């Protein structure tokens, strides 16, 4: 098993782990329904797996948009003390959600008690749930927003993954730090980079494969956007996506978070504009 199996092995997210640990101590009570929100690749499904393992519950994982309430109900009927993980829970059909309300609140189905269970949902679109499915959201007793990872956490994550894979540490500290700096603060990207790097041991392969232009992981696509904003001024979200030829969801999840975190762009009422720090950056690209 390459991914963590318990909270003590899960790197980063101290605030979330502290909250979860409080509830995990109450072994005589069913673990509350929980929702975890955060960007794609931040470790939501891994955290769900750790929770189920700590509790000793049977673990079932689904993409929310590909399942229905009846399938979930059948699982609950046949599996006492289970944790059902619904990834991208904002995508579940509203009519299906309503069938789960009584089950979530009272563990009752058609007026009769059924097995207790824990529903754990993960979402990259918490705002959509709050806007369109608030009664559903309010039935989750625990709500966790994952924080951005620090470079040191990501470097540690890479080293631990490397050690689990080989049985001993293969990657050195300099290389794990390099990947941690290049992965856009995203564990999933960090592991992708590591898996390529361990095959060749060449940083130049990472630069080429991931289109890296700057030593903090910004890509040629990021650079293209910054230069566009430098020339065009404030640009709306649709205009940015049309210029880059990408959809809005991809931009908001994969491109903008790093640019905002590093203060290279600024959100304005009418769109985005480049910051002074961004203007300084585009004159000093490291990798051509």
Q: Is there a single domain that holds both residue 129 and residue 240?
A: no
In a domain, 287, yes or no: no
The parent domain of residue 59 ranges over 7-145
Structure tokens at 168: 């001993």
Predicted TM-score of the model (pTM): 0.87
Mapped to the 3 state alphabet, what secondary structure does 234-264 carry?
CECHHHHHHHHCCCHHHHHHHHHHHHHHCCC
Q: Is there a single domain that holds both residue 42 and residue 59?
A: yes
In a domain, 160, yes or no: yes
d(CA 64, CA 265) in angstroms, rounded, equals 34
Q: Is there a single domain that holds both residue 156 and residue 259?
A: no
Q: How many domains does the chain have?
A: 3
Q: Is there a single domain that holds both residue 14 and residue 122?
A: yes
pLDDT value of position 129: 85
In a domain, 33, yes or no: yes
Model confidence pLDDT, tens digit, residues 109-122: 888 888 899 999 99
Q: Is there a single domain that holds both residue 78 and residue 101?
A: yes
209, 238, 256 — which closes off a domain? 209
Model confidence pLDDT, tens digit, residues 226-242: 999 999 999 999 999 99
* Dihedral sign from CA coordinates of 88, 136, 4, 251: positive
Does residue 207 surpass a pLDDT of 60?
A: yes
In a domain, 286, yes or no: no
128, 145, 162 — which closes off a domain? 145
Does residue 287 surpass a pLDDT of 60?
A: no
């Amino acid at each position: 098993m390459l991914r963590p199996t318990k909270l003590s092995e899960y790197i980063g997210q101290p605030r979330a782990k502290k909250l979860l640990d409080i509830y995990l101590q109450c072994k005589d009570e069913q673990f509350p329904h929980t929702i975890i929100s955060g960007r794609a690749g931040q470790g939501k499904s891994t955290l769900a797996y750790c929770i189920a393992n700590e509790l000793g519950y049977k673990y079932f994982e689904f993409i929310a948009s590909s399942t229905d309430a009846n399938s979930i109900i059948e699982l609950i009927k046949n599996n006492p003390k289970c944790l059902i993980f619904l990834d991208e829970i904002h995508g579940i059909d509203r009519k299906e959600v309503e069938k789960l309300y009584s089950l979530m609140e009272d563990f009752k189905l058609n007026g009769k008690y059924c097995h207790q269970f824990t529903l754990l949902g993960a979402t990259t679109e918490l705002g959509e749930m709050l806007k369109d499915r608030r009664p559903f959201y309010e039935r989750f007793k625990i709500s966790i927003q994952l924080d951005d990872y620090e470079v040191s956490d990501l470097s540690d994550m890479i080293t631990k993954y490397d050690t689990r894979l080989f049985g001993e540490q293969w990657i050195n500290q300099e290389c794990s730090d390099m990947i941690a700096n290049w992965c856009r603060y995203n564990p999933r990207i960090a592991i992708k980079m590591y898996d390529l790097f361990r095959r060749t041991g060449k940083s130049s392969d990472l630069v080429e494969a991931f289109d890296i232009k700057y030593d903090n992981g910004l890509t040629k696509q990021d650079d293209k956007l910054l230069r566009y904003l430098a020339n065009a001024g404030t640009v709306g979200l649709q205009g940015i996506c049309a210029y880059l030829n990408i959809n809005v969801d991809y931009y908001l999840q994969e491109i903008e978070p790093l640019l905002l975190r590093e203060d290279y762009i600024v959100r304005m009422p009418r769109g985005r504009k480049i910051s002074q720090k961004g203007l300084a950056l585009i004159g000093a690209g490291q990798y051509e």
